[in-house]
Amino acid sequence: MYKNRFVIVLALLLALVFVTPSIAQDAKKGDAKKMEKKEMGTLKEVKCDPACGFCIQSKDEKEIISDVKMHAKTHHHMDLTDEQVKKEIKDVK
C-alpha cells in the first residue's frame, strides 16, 4: 500500500519536473513576442529647426517626448508640454 502511494507521488513529482521547464519556456516565448511587438512599432521622429539640427528617432514615444522636452529647455529655453511634443511627432518613411 505504501509502495503504491510512493509510486504515485514519485510519478507526480517526475511529471512536475518535466512540465515546469516547458511552462517556463512558454512564458518566456510570450514575453519575447510582447517585446517583439513593441520593438516592431513604427519608427517616429521629431526634428528641430534646420538651423539647430536636432533630430530624434525612436519607436518609443515616451523617450521622444522626454528628449525633446529636455532639448527645448536646455538649448532653446522653452518649456514644452507633452501634447505640444506629440503634435510634432511624425512617422519615419
* 9 lies in the same domain as 27: yes
Q: Are 92 and 44 in contact (CB under 8 A)?
A: yes
Write the DSSP string, 36-92: HHHHTSPPEEEE--TTT--EEEES-HHHHHHHHHHHHHHHH-----HHHHHHH-EE-
Q: What's residue 20's pLDDT?
A: 64
Please compute Rg for the chain using Cα positions: 26
Range of the domain at 18: 1-40
**Beta-carbon count within 10 A of 3 CB:** 7
* 86 lies in the same domain as 53: yes
* 52 lies in the same domain as 35: no
* 50 lies in the same domain as 35: no
* 12 lies in the same domain as 32: yes
42: DSSP letter: P
* 64 lies in the same domain as 77: yes
pLDDT tens digits for range 22-80: 665 666 666 655 665 555 678 999 999 999 899 999 999 999 999 999 999 999 999 99
